Amino acid sequence: MQVEIDGIADPRRLSERIGHHVRLQHYDRVRESIYHPAVRFQDIARLACRVTQGDLASVVMVEPERVVILATHGWTKLPREKAVLDAFCAHTVAVARPVVISDARRSLTLKALSAVSALGVVAYLGVPVMVAPEVAIGTVCAFDRRIRKWEAGDIDALIDLSALVLERIHNRNAIRRQRH
């Protein structure tokens, strides 16, 4: 199920959902595998951009205070992390389902994000990386610099790429467990 949102306007509520203990327990179980240098996500970001025909794409993980950008495509000089309250992806992880935004400039909450105000992002499509029912740890997302009506095929493609992200994390976790 997808949702067009206006963002979670209350920063405290957004932080509570991101910092929920169940989500963090799941995140902690795979944290080491996510950041292991052998796990790469650049190809997934590139494919997300290609299949959605968006201007930009990324693979990110959402921690309680920051969003860690693991891979990007189409961006130049993007920081490797940003504050959780300044990221579209925090909203996607908080609702734990695909988020579709056609024009972020129309939202009081989202138009203040630096991606909108500084980088010119207008549209966003984010699919959560789900580790359990209703528990997301990150996103695969596409962005556009114009108003965009995202198609069902775009969402389906990002869902498939999100599953691939999770598969890579689980594979790395299995290798790590075998070595210990």
CATH code (residue 141): 3.30.450.40
What pairing do the DSSP bridges indicate for beta strands 3-4 and 99-101?
A: parallel
Tell me the mean pLDDT in the region 91-107: 93
Distance between CA 140 and CA 58 in Å, rounded? 6
pLDDT of residue 172: 82
Task: Specify which residues 135 forms β-bridges with.
Answer: 132
- According to DSSP, residue 25 is labeled H
pLDDT of residue 162: 98
Tell me the mean pLDDT in the region 79-97: 92
Q: Give residue for tokens 């990007």.
A: 72
**pTM (2 decimals)?**
0.90
Tell me the mean pLDDT in the region 122-151: 96
pLDDT of residue 3: 53
Domain total for the chain? 1
Query: How does pLDDT run across 144-178, given as a tens digit for each residue?
Result: 999 999 999 999 999 999 999 999 998 887 776 77
pLDDT of residue 180: 62
Query: What is the extent of the structural domain holding 34?
Result: 3-179
Pick from 47, 59, 117: which is nearest to 92 by CA?
Answer: 59
Task: Specify which residues 143 forms β-bridges with.
Answer: 56, 124
